[in-house]
Amino acid sequence: MRTSRVFSVKETKKFKEQLLSWSRQFQEIAWLDSNEYDSKTGEYEAILAVEAFTAIKTDYVQAFDKLKEYQETTADWIFGYLSYDLKNDVENLSSKNFDGLHFPDLYFFQPQKLILIKEGCVELSYLRMVDDEIENDFKEIRDYRVELASDHTPVKVEARISREEYLEKIRLMLNHIHRGDIYEANFCQDYYSENVNIDSFNIYRSLNEISTPPFAAYLKLEDFNLISASPERYLRKKGSELLSQPIKGTARRSEDPIEDKKIAAELAEDPKEQSENVMIVDLVRNDLSRIAKKGSVKVDELCKVYTFKQVHQLISSVTAEIADDIPSVEALRTSFPMGSMTGAPKISAMKIIEELEESKRGLYSGAVGYFTPTGDFDFNVVIRSILYNSENKYLSFSVGGAITAKSDPEKEYEECLLKAKAMREVLTNI
Which residues have a catalytic role annotated?
A: 232, 248
Q: What's the Cα-to-Cα distance from 45 to each of 7, 117, 235, rounded to whole Å?
A: 15, 6, 17
Do residues 63 and 47 make contact, with C-beta atoms less than 8 angstroms apart?
A: no
* Torsion-angle region of 324 (φ positive above 0: left; ψ -120 to 50: alpha; else: beta): beta
How many Cβ atoms are within 10 Å of 128's Cβ, its own excluded? Answer: 10
CB count in 10 Å sphere of residue 417: 11
Closest CA to 199 of 430, 364, 367, 427: 427
Give the residue among 381, 379, 398, 397 at the shortest CA–CA distance from 389.
Answer: 397
Distances in Å between the Cα of 362 and the Cα atoms of 189, 190, 251, 328, 358 are 13, 11, 26, 23, 12
CB 338 within 8 A of CB 235: yes
Other CB atoms closer than 10 Å to residue 185's CB: what's the count? 28
Identity of the residue numbered 69: E
3-state helix, strand, coil in the chain (%, to 5): 35, 35, 30
Q: Which residues, in sequence order, are CB contacts of 61 under 8 Å at separation 6+?
A: 89
DSSP secondary structure letters along 189-240: EEEEESS----HHHHHHHHHHHH--TEEEEEEETTEEEEEEE--EEEEEETT
Compute how many other C-beta atoms are within 10 angstroms of the C-beta atom of residue 319. 18
Kind of pairing, strands 233-238 and 241-245? antiparallel
Cβ pair 283, 339 in contact under 8 A:
yes
Q: Give how far Cα 60 sits from Cα of 41, 85, 396, Å.
A: 30, 7, 21
